[in-house]
Homo-oligomer: A and B are copies of this chain.
Amino acid sequence: MANEFMADRVTSLKASAIREIFKMVGQSDIISLAGGNPSAEIFPKEILASLAEKILREEGTTALQYGVTEGYAPLRAKVKKDLKDKGILHDTDDALITSGGQQLIDLCAKTLINDGDVVAVEAPSFIGGLNCFRSYNGKLIGIDMEDDGMNLDRLEALAKKEKIKLVYTIPTFQNPTGITMSLEKRKRLLEMASIYDFYILEDNPYGALRFSGADIQTIKSMDDSGRVIYAGSFSKVISPGLRVGFGAARADIFDRMVVCKQVQDVHTPCLNQMLVNKFIEEYDFDAHIKKSIDMYKEKCAKMISCMDEYFPSFCTHTVPEGGIFLWCSLSGDYDTKKIMAECIEKKVAFVPGATAMVDIDKPCNQFRLNYSTPTLSDIEKGIFIISEVLKNVGK
């Protein structure tokens, strides 16, 4: 083998197919329903421009010098207070600032996953999470999704058969399905964690973006056992490019995550943390988030009405109550990778479902659509073009 000098953990890793699609999409006139980005229209550019200028002029040394691994103290204090207010941060926990929510997943995996440890994941799930567990030689096992979240009967059957180390879930407005796990399932998942002795990584980057229905408690806020690690992010509510996320975990796990972060990037850039901190401090953060919610509500409704109008009947979709994605399923033996290739020729892109599965090479008859980035008119055009391609392959 040519690459036998490489570590086992990386030999079979593949670059995120989604990011490869992005590279293609970014340089053309393609309507992208493939993104996972928040809408750039909502970025508070002018405000952040003024804040950055002020921070660097008045507190330049703090912004530009080395900082503390755990996070910039004022931002960390705000995050901890907010997590405490929401019942997420328990007295036995601690919280840190990370370089995006992605880093929290990595630190959690590095801290908990030994070679071959079973990581049960929603099928489909977030490719950045899946690849991360793969990169620590976790043994991924996919658990199918139902309308109210992960199929817990399947999970329990697995737990009875194999030792599960970690369950990775995005319970609220899941990526890629847009599905939200019911309160009943959240409670049962927690109970199962104690019974079968596993940990839960609750990844919640979209939770603030609810545009219909009622909030459901986070799993972590109901956890008395210290088994839930929580990941949050400012990526979808302020800016993903700044790479500022956060996480909370039981103190002993937190402690190991901090050491792992120290050797990974020393600390999250100070300027970026200070920008987020000042933005929250000086502006109406809730009002800012409300802008995204209103926009995504409108765009999601538009996408759904277009799908209901144009899509052939063998294509069904989820109806998210928030977040930025929805998920389409074709009844029948289709391969959405091939369908995507046809759509791209007609200048529309989406994410084929296989990329979000444990077995990415198995043909998959599902696909992900994003409504946060395209304009209303591109949503209509894009859905129309996809529906034409679908009708054709469905013949």
Contacts and interface: CB of A to CB of B under 8 A. Distances in A.
Given A45-B56, A60-B49, A110 B65 contact: no
A268 B264 CA distance: 12
A179 interface: no
Interface string A232-271: 0000000111110000000011011011101111111111
Interface string A335-372: 00000000000000000000000000000000000000
Contacts of A200: none
Interface in A20-59: 23, 36-37, 40, 43, 45-46, 48-50, 52-57
Given A49-B60, A265-B265, 13 more contacts: A5-B165, A10-B256, A14-B259, A40-B61, A43-B61, A64-B241, A65-B240, A66-B240, A135-B263, A242-B270, A243-B267, A269-B269, A271-B271
Interface of A: 2-3, 5-10, 13-16, 19, 23, 36-37, 40, 43, 45-46, 48-50, 52-57, 60-69, 99-100, 102-103, 105-106, 110-115, 117, 128, 131-132, 135-136, 165, 199, 239-243, 252-253, 255-256, 258-260, 262-272
19 contacts: A3-B252, A6-B111, A6-B256, A7-B113, A10-B260, A15-B255, A15-B262, A16-B262, A37-B65, A37-B66, A45-B56, A45-B60, A65-B240, A131-B259, A135-B263, A241-B271, A243-B267, A243-B269, A264-B265
Contacts of A57: 45-46, 49
Given A13-B259, A258-B15, A262-B131, A65 B106 contact: no
A56 B14 CA distance: 33
Contacts of A6: 111-112, 253, 256
* 5 nearest CB pairs, A to B: A45-B60, A49-B56, A53-B53, A64-B239, A52-B52
A2 B13 CA distance: 32
Contact of A13 (B49, B63, B256): B256
B64 A263 contact: no
Contacts of A63: 241
A110 B64 contact: no
Given A43-B64, A66-B240, A50 B53 contact: yes
Given A10-B256, A56-B49, A100-B266, A199 B241 contact: no
Given A65-B241, A114-B8, A266 B128 contact: yes
Of residues A37, A61, A67, which shows the largest number of chain B Cβ atoms within 10 Å of its Cβ?
A: A61
Total copies of this chain within the assembly: 2
Nearest to A373: B65
B264 A106 contact: yes
A239 B55 CA distance: 15
A222 to B, nearest CB: 20
Contacts of A256: 6, 10, 13
Contact of A100 (B7, B265, B271): B265
Contacts of A243: 99, 265-269
